[in-house]
Amino acid sequence: MTMLQVIAALGLLALLASVVKHIEFTQLRSSKLQQHLVFGAAASVFVLWIFRAGIYEGLDVHFLWLSALALTLGVRFALLAGTAALLGVTALGYEQWQMLGVNGLLGVAVPIVITHLIYNISFHRLPRNLFLYIFVCAFIPGAALIALKMFLLGSYYVIDGTYDWLTVKDNFLILIPLMLFPEGMLNGMTMTLLIIYKPHWVYTFHDKFYIDGK
């Protein structure tokens, strides 16, 4: 492992330790719905991440679906579910074990945390209605964060000396425009369906704020 990989692994461990420390596991054990949501979401993301395309090892392209995950589960459970999905695809050989820390921070933590920040800002600064919730909290973060994740991961490979900038740009970053709209739609449509048919599943959605207007 390189020094950057070691630092990233330690950072991911510290983040997960902080998350676990602040989770009410007694509530999780007593709520069958919460258990099904967390484990079902982790399994769904895991299956989605299996489907990927790429020429060079590590420069694979796949949908994230993490903005919807963060809005549905909340930031703490989303981090656990996303990390579980990452462990699954890594165990199957789709990712390298030495990259677990880097992928965990850049590919899981950054999208989830930024989605949560965008949600908080929109909740306190923007009018509360269904359109803004879906568009500002799900569609836009979904599109923007897959671009950010790909840029950060590509930059890591250049800084770490794995690939040169031209290789990363021509075989990885060039695909960002193709991923923006589909990723945004995936997250936006997911949240649209959930708040219509299963609003009680969504941790960040409350009828009294977004429908009653209170």
The domains of the chain are located at: 39-210
Check if the beta carbon of residue 142 is closer than 8 Å to that of residue 186. yes
pLDDT given for residue 185 in this prediction: 97
| Pick among 2.40.50.180, 3.40.50.300, 3.40.50.620, 1.10.1760.20: CATH of 39-210 | 1.10.1760.20
Q: DSSP string covering 119-169, please?
A: HHHHHHHS---HHHHHIIIIIHHHHHHHHHHHHHHHHHHHHTTSS-HHHHH
3-state helix, strand, coil split of the chain in percent (to 5) is: 80, 0, 20
pLDDT tens digit sequence for 133-188: 999 999 999 999 999 999 999 999 999 999 999 999 999 999 999 999 999 999 99
